[in-house]
Structure 1
């Protein structure tokens, strides 16, 4: 009888240990809220944490923000050793510096889900969730080319050096060349998805180029800096400024028609981090793999559909 009881206790302890080992612990590593879009990412990540832990009582979600790539690399290793995560959802600060650290975490047995800014080596990740960056660039080029009637001078403000930025810009240039060969791209510089940096880049463009017909600022925060530079310079030659990502202030301008330079926007929602966290929770709690790639389409926002994309309570 005593032996049977001891065996039963031993069996229960074994089951309890196995359950503890298989508990889904999701580490979420994202950039700090250093501009509007990343503020939206932080907001949606924390909302997803609350939703997941309510929906899946056995799951735990740990959200951490990092100010740069070095801090993020240290952070994800700490989450493995200290927090014992078995799933990582990461939106990298930059592609190249985070590729090796994410690959190292994956080799330790952590299931890795990369969001938005793809790594330079796809083998470092188990799954990828992102907006349609190629579509973002293509839709932007098609809109501007049509607005200019197929002729004119365009300046481009890029984001930061990432796979995401390369995909957007390459698609933009390819679509413009194929559909509107009469449109000339005067220059393209990094504005770092930051309104202050974009302001300085646009000031440089305004100084160097006496005739600019349109500006593609591949992010709404940068578009804010562009508009400020144009206003201060008093330039009247620029006919259209196109940003992107769906900042509520820009969507409101499109809805109201309150700024003649802002007549459209292109979606790239920060809520994709929540989509990734929810997908990870749903699949990993069931012991399943995520789809290798999940792409969220980019949509052109105009006055006709802008109300569908306006979220006044969002930080972005």
Structure 2
């Protein structure tokens, strides 16, 4: 709101930390005539933004669930670490649950770890203390996965389970490349989407036609066989 009043902006590109608190402020920005691009974490009310750029969150959940289901041969006990309570977190969980529906995979517990390494560590410590058998962990995000890895390592339980994260963080991709049995795969959630969103917003103003609607990026499964093409050692992420 300060940007609109002080700088007379023509466009706003915003990646909400949480969907709910930003929905009304962004609506007011839009009502002032500003072109609005929302990135990644959608607002809680549809139709406010002009352009939405995101990874395919439902697909990320679905791909993760399909891998875990196949790897466990349709049965086993798993735990889930969710992200921040947002629209995209709900989409990921919905895709995951649809993928394991009809199997005998049992979700022992599902708690928010806020896409945060420290929270992932604490939630996983709690799971390890409460559950004697865990066959797999869906960490949903690579920051969470790093915390989960440390908790599992400290509990000396690396041999009993595997972890599926998501995003494409270079540290996790390197583990996949190296054949780490604890982290056998990852699911891509394109980290450069904010740059894509900025490029598309500029195109709206300089191209011959409007750039509107949704631009959704895919979430392929990253395995040891294809990990090299997703590994960028000089990346900050």
| TM-score normalised according to structure 1 size | 0.73
Note if contact 1:212-1:237 (Cα within 8 Å) is conserved in structure 2: no
Greater share of helix: 1
Are residue 141 (structure 1) and residue 62 (structure 2) matched?
Answer: no
The alpha-carbon deviation at position 239 of structure 1 amounts to: 2.3
CA RMSD of aligned residues (A): 1.1
Shift of the alpha carbon at 1:158? Answer: 0.4
Contact 1:132 1:296 in 2 (8 A): yes
* Equivalent of residue 310 in structure 1, options 217, 221, 231: 231
- Size of the alignment, in residue pairs? 237
1:154 aligns with 2:78: yes
User: What is the distance in 2 between the residues matched to 1:148 and 1:313?
Assistant: 35
SS of equivalent residue, structure 2 residue 60: helix
CA distance in 2, matches of 1:288, 1:157: 42
**Residue aligning to 2:194:** 273
Structure 1 residue aligned with 2:176: 254
Offset, 1:263: 0.8
For 1:285 and 1:90, how far apart are their aligned partners in 2?
20
Say yes or no: does 1:228 pair with 2:139.
no
- State the 1:279 CA deviation: 0.7
Per-residue CA deviation, residues 210-240 of structure 1 (Å, 9 max, x unaligned), is: 1100000010011010011111111256321
User: Structure 2: 5+ residue runs without aligned partners?
Assistant: none
Q: Deviations over 1:43-95 (max 9, x none)?
A: xxxxxxxxxxxxxxxxxxxxxxxxxxxxxxxxxx1111112111111111110
Select the residue among 30, 35, 38 that pairs with 1:111.
35
Q: Is the 8 A contact 2:203 2:211 kept in 1?
A: no
Q: CA deviation at 1:291?
A: 3.0
In the aligned structure 2, how far is the partner of 1:310 from the partner of 1:237?
Answer: 26
The 8 Å contact of residues 92 and 117 in structure 1, kept in 2 or not, is answered as: yes
In the TM superposition, residue 174 of structure 1 has moved relative to its aligned partner by 1.2
The SS at the match of 2:99 is helix
C-alpha deviation, 1:286, in angstroms: 3.4
What secondary structure sits across from 2:101 in the alignment? helix
Q: Does residue 201 of structure 2 align to residue 291 of structure 1?
A: no
- In 1, the alpha carbon distance for the partners of 2:211 and 2:29 equals 17
Larger radius of gyration: 1
Distance 1:142 1:84, change over 3 A: same
1:128 correspondence with 2:49: no
Q: Distance in 1 between matches of 2:208 and 2:12?
A: 15
Unaligned runs of 5+ in 1: 1-76
